[in-house]
Structure 1
Amino acid sequence: MALDPAIKEGAPVGYDDHPIHSEPGALPPEVQAPLAPFQGQVPDTPKWFADAIAKAPERSLVDSMGTKIEMLTWGEVGKPGLLLVHGNSAHADWWSFIAPYLAEDYRVASMSLAGMGGSDWRDSYAFQDFAEDAEAVARAAGLYEGPRKPIYIGHSFGGAQVFFAAALNPDRLHAAILVDTGFGGPPPDSPEAKKMAERVRNIPTADRANKVYPDIKSALARFRFMPPQAAGNLFVADFIARRSLKEVPGPDGGVGYTWRFDPSMWNKLDRSVMMGMTADGPPKVSVPLAHIFGDRSVVMSRRASGQPSPLPADILEIAIPDSAHHIMVDQPLALIASLRSLLAVWPSK
């Protein structure tokens, strides 16, 4: 499995559900700051992408456990339902250029996980709470008003949440599709975990808030992907990055910009229920599972090296050529085609 040049050079790569810190110069410029050369300008955008984002979703907030969860919807209520879940420190708009190409045949909803995007922050986060949020969004979006229960689709950390929801509440969904999901980090007491703990020392925490930038240009120049990778399509990276920011009071007065995820989330994430489900081995998932992954994904390279995975050995898998972990950035049209083709024939019942 070929990997990105940044990985070959021995740069810190982290895991799909935890941010890492990298010192300036530790990563190649196209990985560390892919949007910096544009000086705040929007990269050239192809027509298919412009057409997709022109089909703006309906935006609303759904109450779940006293928290407002951001929801985006496309398509008609009554068609088969799809729920889209984003990855680590991301937001619902990571699917805004994918969903319109599914919405002709499906009622589609995309959610921002609690603590991310436009959703409220919580005093603590837990896998079982994310599952309840997904259910609340699916019901509010009308995904249960179609001919069958919804199919959940999750990327990276969102794929782990989809897998957990399918294992915990199989009666709530028809099937689950994971997109380049590597299931977190190394064992807590392993040497690799100890190295990671050192690397994340400069990640924002409750005592060290997200940095506030004086303008959009400065903020975009600091945007990069986690795990680190070059942006396969810079117009996608720019779209995602702009919607990762929110306005706040500026460092010197006026308007400033900062990231929309809770900087304390990783210190407040309770994995106890999830760990309990895996104490005796991978949990059994009774709903149909499929997995789409990038053929250059560092997340998937861990599994190729022999590290354990909770996915069943006979799971249906689709490899996307010339893609790293963030498939919707590297190969968005291939991801759309794969999802449409898969959903047309799978699951068979």
Structure 2
Amino acid sequence: MTDQSKTTPAVAAAEFEDDRPVQTAPGEFPPEIQAPLAPFEGEPPQAPAWFSKAIAEEPERSFVESLGSRIEVLTWGEVGKPGLLLVHGNSAHADWWSFIAPFFAKDFRVASMSLAGMGASDWRESYAFQDFAEDAEAVARATGLYEGGRKPIYIGHSFGGSQVFYAASKFPERMHAAILVDTGFGGPPPKEREEMERRMAQVRNIPTADRPKRVYPTLKAALARFRFMPPQAAGNLYVADFIARRSLKRAPLEDGSGEGWTWMFDPAMWNKLDRSAMNALVTEGPPEVLTPVAHIYGEQSQVIARRQEGHPSPLPADMVEIAIPDANHHVMVDQPLALVAALRSLLAVWPS
């Protein structure tokens, strides 16, 4: 890893939505936002039967080599069926789709990838949208997503939707269609951005792969610190718990007394991310997008609210859009079955 103090973030007037992790003070948000899992004291919340059945359909877990890095991949379904590639949001991981993907495994070959620097994928000296696009293509090829008689459909949530849209605009020959899930462009309001930058500037003791920034002594303590970015309450706590447990890895405690738990993502990713290629799609006017694009979003999403306020967006004006009622930005947490239904309906008739 590079020294973060020597890495200059690529900042532009307009950029994709900012869901980077930031430090928050106790009491800054209501408890249901600040620490949604704390009341359970390390125990999993009760889950409905459909969810337990879905996660019981364990994927095959493997790694794909891309640009010198190991990329974590989860797969469901048979090779030879139409391919779906699932891409998660920032600081997330492939298991964000593990309770969604089984609903499509009968009809599709499904692959969910952890972006470089997230999940169990390798951390990099630097990150770029061009590289994420190459990683996605490597995963699609290696997991047989092209073997179903057509090119795969990419589905990306939030920051992952930005990756999917970039690939769709630059490499239309690689995919049959692109589905974005609550993906916005425009970033946070100026005061919120200024506060985020102030907090990021206060970060010291830059972490490395073998020395994470913060290690919690117990799994209970780590789960109590889990929260979503952008901030929102967890619509279904059993989903939040499932995601949180798979967001953690073991790491040595700072005092050398044993092992604790820390987050899997590279906390310096935002400072090592070259956003210039993606920002150009926003600042240089709407790109010509040959790939069919659809958008599923949470009706109460902050990300969508920013777009409706007139922030610049490269998304096609005539794309198909589906609103999910009673859902915020993290649609699969708030309304997982509604998201499944929307995806199923869309894939059944679109693109024509």
TM-score (norm 1): 0.91
Equivalence map 1:200-349=2 (5 Å): 200-202=200-202, 206=206, 209-252=212-255, 253-348=257-352
Asked whether the equivalents of residues 294 and 324 of structure 1 are also in contact (C-alpha less than 8 Å), the reply is: yes
2:4 alignment partner in structure 1: none
Equivalence map 1:53-68=2 (5 Å): 53-68=55-70
Amino acid at match of 1:245: L
Question: Residues 240 and 186 (structure 1 numbering): CA distance in 2 closer, same or farther, change over 3 Å?
Answer: closer
Q: Distance in 2 between matches of 1:233 and 1:202?
A: 33
Q: Distance in 2 between matches of 1:306 and 1:196?
A: 22
Q: Distance in 1 between matches of 2:296 and 2:90?
A: 17
CA root-mean-square deviation: 1.8
Asked whether the equivalents of residues 186 and 306 of structure 2 are also in contact (C-alpha less than 8 Å), the reply is: no
Q: Distance in 1 between matches of 2:336 and 2:245?
A: 18
How many angstroms does 1:26 deviate by? 0.9
Asked whether the equivalents of residues 250 and 256 of structure 1 are also in contact (C-alpha less than 8 Å), the reply is: yes
Q: Distance in 2 between matches of 1:83 and 1:147?
A: 15
Asked whether the equivalents of residues 152 and 177 of structure 1 are also in contact (C-alpha less than 8 Å), the reply is: yes
1:91 to 90, 93, 98: 93
Question: Residues 284 and 150 (structure 1 numbering): CA distance in 2 closer, same or farther, change over 3 Å?
Answer: same
How many angstroms does 1:203 deviate by? 5.7
Question: Residues 239 and 184 (structure 1 numbering): CA distance in 2 closer, same or farther, change over 3 Å?
Answer: farther
Q: Distance in 1 between matches of 2:52 and 2:186?
A: 34
Percent identity over paired residues = 70
Q: Distance in 1 between matches of 2:102 and 2:307?
A: 32
SS at 1:144's partner residue? coil
SS at 1:291's partner residue? strand
Question: Residues 172 and 99 (structure 1 numbering): CA distance in 2 closer, same or farther, change over 3 Å?
Answer: same
Q: Distance in 2 between matches of 1:262 and 1:270?
A: 15
1:177 alignment partner in structure 2: 179
Task: Please say if 1:46 is aligned against 2:42.
Answer: no
Q: Distance in 1 between matches of 2:179 and 2:248?
A: 28
Q: Distance in 1 between matches of 2:203 and 2:320?
A: 36
2:6 alignment partner in structure 1: none
How many angstroms does 1:18 deviate by? 2.4
Asked whether the equivalents of residues 19 and 203 of structure 1 are also in contact (C-alpha less than 8 Å), the reply is: no
TM-score (norm 2): 0.91
Amino acid at match of 1:336: V
SS at 1:145's partner residue? coil
How many angstroms does 1:182 deviate by? 1.0
2:114 to 102, 112, 115: 112
Which sits farther off after the overlay, 195-204 or 128-137? 195-204
Which sits farther off after the overlay, 273-282 or 28-37? 273-282
CA deviation map 1:174-200 (0-9, x unaligned):
00000000136259xx66543431243
Amino acid at match of 1:234: L
Structure 1: gaps spanning 5 or more residues: 1-13
Question: Residues 146 and 21 (structure 1 numbering): CA distance in 2 closer, same or farther, change over 3 Å?
Answer: same
Asked whether the equivalents of residues 111 and 140 of structure 2 are also in contact (C-alpha less than 8 Å), the reply is: yes
1:194 alignment partner in structure 2: 194
SS at 2:326's partner residue? coil
How many angstroms does 1:305 deviate by? 1.5
SS at 2:329's partner residue? coil
CA deviation map 1:12-67 (0-9, x unaligned):
xx944423332211100000000000000010011100000000000000000000
Asked whether the equivalents of residues 247 and 257 of structure 1 are also in contact (C-alpha less than 8 Å), the reply is: yes
